[in-house]
Amino acid sequence: MTDPVFATKWDFLFARVLIGVDRTTGVFSGSEPAPGQQMVAVWTSEDIATEALHVESWELKQIKVRDLLRLLPAGIGVVVDPETTSGMTATSSYVAQLKRYLVPFPPDSQVRLGDWDAMPQGLRHALVQAATRHGVQELRAFTYTVDDSPSLGCLAYVPAPGSEASAVTAALDAALASAASPVALGLPAVNVVALDEVPQEVRAALGDAHVIHRGRRSTRWRR
């Protein structure tokens, strides 16, 4: 018996797949194996996808499974490499269970913290530069697990008063992407969040540890 293409839910959740997009309508490739059971079809390789689809009508696009699940309405499942021996089906109920893990710290989950000792020096330098440019008051880097997940990375920052958190997140994401990929880091994902988005109990466990940057505090001079 052939093993499924994704052995665990985490392998599936952090994967990148190919999806067919109708060149005329923009509709995703899919099927309805039974009434009311709509499935979106994705593939793990271009060879398998082009064999299944008429590429004249369908454009193949790469997508993160996490991004795909965010797009799917309730009641839609995912079939991976349909009609192959290693294919798998994520039913709509299974997809609904996975969606709770689309946020960095799902409610009512068990979080375990770790040190990001293996962060490359080049990545640390790029992150500190980006944080300095945007006046970030504090930047922390750590690893963690959620329930039975693999080790994930987290960059949690305290923005300068009045700064746009989205701009800081984008800058840190860009620094991360330019310096190293999550795969190269040995992490399936690195989440960039404002520190106040980290659950209070996790912040308390961090204490002053894991700080890789602290900005200079402004002082008022008296004459």
Whether 153 has a pLDDT exceeding 90, the answer reads yes
Sequence-separated (6 or more) residues with CB below 8 Å from residue 11 = none
3-state SS assignment for residue 131? helix
The beta-strand segments (E) located in 56-148 are: 58-64, 76-80, 88-90, 111-115, 138-146
What's at 163, amino acid-wise?
Answer: S
> Tens digit of pLDDT for each residue in 100-143?
999 999 999 999 999 998 899 999 999 999 999 999 999 999 99
Sequence-separated (6 or more) residues with CB below 8 Å from residue 71 = none
Query: 168-178 burial by CB neighbour count: b if 16+ within 10 A, else e?
Result: bbebbeebbee
Angle 120-121-122 from CA coordinates, rounded to 5°:
90
> Tens digit of pLDDT for each residue in 159-211?
998 888 899 999 999 999 988 777 788 999 999 999 999 999 999 999 888 99
The predicted model scores a pTM of: 0.86
